Amino acid sequence: MSLEQRINAAWYGRPGWLLLLLPLSYLFRCVAALRRYLISAESCGAPVIVVGNISVGGSGKTPAVLALADYCRDRGYQVGIVSRGYGGQAPHYPYLLDHKTTPSIAGDEPCLIARRSGFPVAVAPDRLAAAKLLVNEKHCNLIISDDGLQHYRLRREIEVLLIDGQRGFGNGHCLPVGPLREPVSRVNDVDLCLINGGSSTLEGHTMSLIGNVAVNLSQRNRRELKDWPDDERRVHAVAGIGNPSRFFNALREHGFDVIEHPFADHHSFVASDLQFGDSLPVIMTEKDAVKCASFSEDNWWMLPVDANIADEFFEVLDMLLASRAPIR
């Protein structure tokens, strides 16, 4: 077991040996609290919805952001999306994505969002600067921040917390003993909670990820998973996301015999990473596909997913938008 796997096992199980770092965890918690109350928030010129989490790793933020952006656009908002651009190195910041932007410039998630949705997307370590760019140059009247719950310099009108229903808050400790960026009590301050996969122990609105159609990376043809040939159901499954097991389990639920290939979140793929010494099909996440399309082979597929969110969530969101972010 690698060090990363050992740490994850301790974060989402019993902390064990990590308890030796408990003083650092208390220090981290204090610093997080001080940042929240000492940093002065500044408006970008438009209302902001922040979609984020308090734990390290994936919780389904990107599909949730896309679902919220579509919903708000349908209600008349000019939506723009900001992100840090993790994994990319832009020539300048803030940086506005276009159809030529690659993950090496803006990061995998912003590229996925821009290509999938057509919304204007800007990246910058300073999300306030990215949001101002979208307001001033794209005339957006609603900004959605992909992650950034802890980026307190950007004033927000609505906070949406994503929680992985399978892993919850792990062992409940802040970094480095546990996976939390802020203590669990932060949940009490957000406006809405989305539980990815649902949970019998966590309070919030249920969200599920739906992915039934694979897309070929080379030819762009689509194939429903239920129509996948029986003699090709043994596949290599590739996932460089926060919780790869969720992806692998989803494929198994569709009847695939999965050979797992987990990679670190935001892994920078090269062609040799996906050479497995046979001709079996490869199925990867959409987030990984944006980095692999340039060297894809004929039997490589991606599985896009959409967020299916409970109606009650949008009923509350409508009330919040009407009171805090009316269209002007």
- What is the mean pLDDT for each group of 10 consecutive residues in the chain (328 residues)? 79 92 96 93 98 89 96 98 96 97 96 96 98 98 95 97 94 96 96 93 94 96 96 97 92 98 93 96 97 95 97 97 93
Which residues make beta-bridge pairs with 223? 214
User: Residue 132 annotated as binding?
Assistant: no
Give the Cβ contact number of residue 27 at 10 Å.
12
pLDDT of residue 23: 96
User: Residue 62 annotated as binding?
Assistant: yes
Is residue 300 a contact partner of residue 316, using CB atoms and an 8 Å limit? no
pLDDT of residue 116: 94
CA–CA distance, 71 with 308 (Å, rounded to integer): 12
Full-model pTM: 0.95
User: Residue 206 annotated as binding?
Assistant: no
User: Residue 201 annotated as binding?
Assistant: no
pLDDT of residue 1: 60
User: Residue 55 annotated as binding?
Assistant: yes
